[in-house]
Structure 1
Amino acid sequence: MNAIDMSSLPPSEIAPGLGLLVPVDFSAASARASRIAVSLAQKWAAQVTFVHVLAPLADEAEVLAFGSHFLAQRQTHTEVKLEAWRQTHAADQQASCEILHGRDFEEIVSCAAVRRVEMIIMARSGRAGIIEQLLGSTAERVVRHAKCPVLVINDFDEAPLLEAGPLLLTTDFSPASRAAFPWAERFARTFDAKITLANVQEPMGLPGTREYARFYQEIDALRAQADAQITALRDESLDASLSGDAEVVEGTPHRAICRLARRLKAALIVMSSHGRTGWQRALIGSTAELVVRHAPCAVLVIRGSDLPTNTDPE
């Protein structure tokens, strides 16, 4: 049987019983992600799977020269540690553990696909070296490759997410960005939060500048058109009981989204991932990956794709 393509299905259309996958590296950040995952699992009646990835040893032959039981002991030690983690964070929750072997992001993405999980929930790496800047952190690379939604928890306390802070939903008006809408509504209902729908436009001339003096009529018309479009999309696509403001902001997409999230004191950004491909994405990252890197709050990324013809939210 082929794996379910969850890139464009709203939560109500996903088969029940699918679980939440939580990568664990035994850090404080992983503990925050684990607590949030368990909280969501309780609300959604889902199962949690904690996974830890053991990286390949640099030279297994050299390691084995010191003792043939080293790899077995390494495996056993990790199993005990991961089981203790499960007992600490999910003693009263249906949860399981699994140890993976290989490159971290590849094994996480592969495990999610094999298990057909509903969502990956993981912590954002705090590393900021040159390799992470060029290729992305583990979380960014999981966002890049995973077929299911990925919830990335930031480096701060998880209380704002659990206490139902504002939710920021972004759109570029494309059909692909609509994939994020049902997930935003699901989180809004779960935490009794309002949704602010936002769109980012290329920077236009500011009042008082020479550019604005020359083209103010065209600039004002474009701004009015964008305001009307985002308001209409909010009214047509979001449940009235959940919808809040509709905003158009200007700037570089990931910077503008992060600035707006800070201004709103948003607890969660929900967005679809579709943008750069090829070498540009590999070296720079998509808008979603850059938001994950710089956001002041948790980020939920849904793989964007064209929705079916019948996209009526009702």
Structure 2
Amino acid sequence: MKHILVPTDFSPDSERAILLACILAKALSAPIRLFHVFSGRDEPLCESNRTLEAEAENIRAQGVTCRPLLAELMPNTRIANETESADVRLLVMGTHARHGLQRAVWGSFTERALREAACPVISVNPQARIPEEVRVVVVGMDGSKLAEAAFEEVVRVAPGLGVRRLVLAHAAEEEGDNFSASRWISVAREAGLEVEVETDRGAPLELILRVAAKHGADLIALGTHGRSGVRRSLFGSVAEAVLRRAPCPVLTRRG
């Protein structure tokens, strides 16, 4: 059975990610693999083991199967390796502000891991609302293959999560923008989903955030580079700013 991978550094941000992962695990009937990378610097091994097992036990108390794992590799290396497994369905991570930039639980290490994760990643910032269920999803559409991949991922997991409505947010940045939503509307409706399209001129970031707030989004889904087709890192594009300011968790897929 495919599981949900959740890294933890025992911080409040990780606790929020665990809360979200439990909600998703129940909806998808998926077990959680909870892991912590032991640094060996400021934490005794026995204490890390006890804390990790306590967090795993809290997850089990919610009716979710959980297997804890303590590793001794660099965080980004371990995460990238773990997500390459065919039985990983999602990677769920917390983020926190560091030096003015949004960082994941292990700072710059996890920034790289998010770019390299072989599975979809759901990130939650400290201010985002943790939804009790995922019913409304806003998908950022810019005509790129990665945006389409994010849309397809949402449609794929929608039945398990109980998603009811998709809102496609398209920012028309250029004159003569010929984006057509008809194909995606058809795909969504064939999957039994309600679908709306919000199109406006201007910056994609502001449109996505505005649409998410307007519709009370439970999840935002994005590709990881923009319309230009130039490959960018997750933390060097619109996705970076959305992750930092999103009112709800954000699903991303790398290319």
Tell me the equivalent position of 2:52. 82
Identify the structure with the greater helix proportion.
Answer: 1
Partner of 1:168: 138
Distance in 1, Cα, partners of 2:89 & 2:134: 21
Please say which structure displays the higher CA radius of gyration: 1
Do the aligned partners of residues 292 and 137 (structure 1) sit closer, same or farther apart at CA in structure 2, a change above 3 Å counting? Answer: farther
**Identity level (%):** 28
- Counterpart in the other structure of 2:185: 235
CA distance in 1, matches of 2:126, 2:100: 17
The answer on whether the counterparts of 2:13 and 2:126 sit within 8 Å (CA) in structure 1 is: yes
Amino acid at match of 2:252: V
Partner deviation per Cα, 1:80-102 (whole Å, 9 max, x = no partner): 11001111122332211111224
1:82 partner letter: L
Within 5 Å, give how 1:1-314 maps onto structure 2: 17-55=1-39, 57=41, 74-91=44-61, 92-114=63-85, 116-129=87-100, 140-156=111-127, 158-159=129-130, 161-189=131-159, 190-202=161-173, 222=176, 225-226=178-179, 229-230=180-181, 232-240=182-190, 241-275=192-226, 276-277=230-231, 281=233, 285-304=236-255
| Cα distance in 1 for residues equivalent to 2:102 and 2:34 | 27
Q: Give TM-score, length-normalised by structure 1.
A: 0.68
* Contact kept? 1:32, 1:158, Cα under 8 Å: no
Deviations 1:249-272, CA, capped at 9 Å, x for gaps:
333333432233233331210122
**Alignment gaps of 5+ in structure 2:** none
TM value normalised by structure 2: 0.82
Tell me if structure 1 keeps the 8 A contact 2:128–2:247. no
Q: 2 CA distance for matches of 1:115 and 1:126? A: 31
State the Cα RMSD in Å: 2.9
How far apart in 2 are the matches of 1:104 and 1:179?
26
Instruction: Give 1 or 2: higher strand fraction.
Output: 2
Distance 1:53 1:200 in 2: 40
Whether the 8 Å contact between 2:4 and 2:92 is mirrored in structure 1 is: yes
What is the rounded CA distance, in whole Å, between the counterparts of 1:259 and 1:184 in structure 2? Answer: 20
**Structure 1: gaps of 5 or more residues:** 1-16, 59-70, 205-218, 305-314
Tell me the matched-pair count.
246
State how far apart, in whole Å, the 2-side matches of 1:157 and 1:197 are.
20
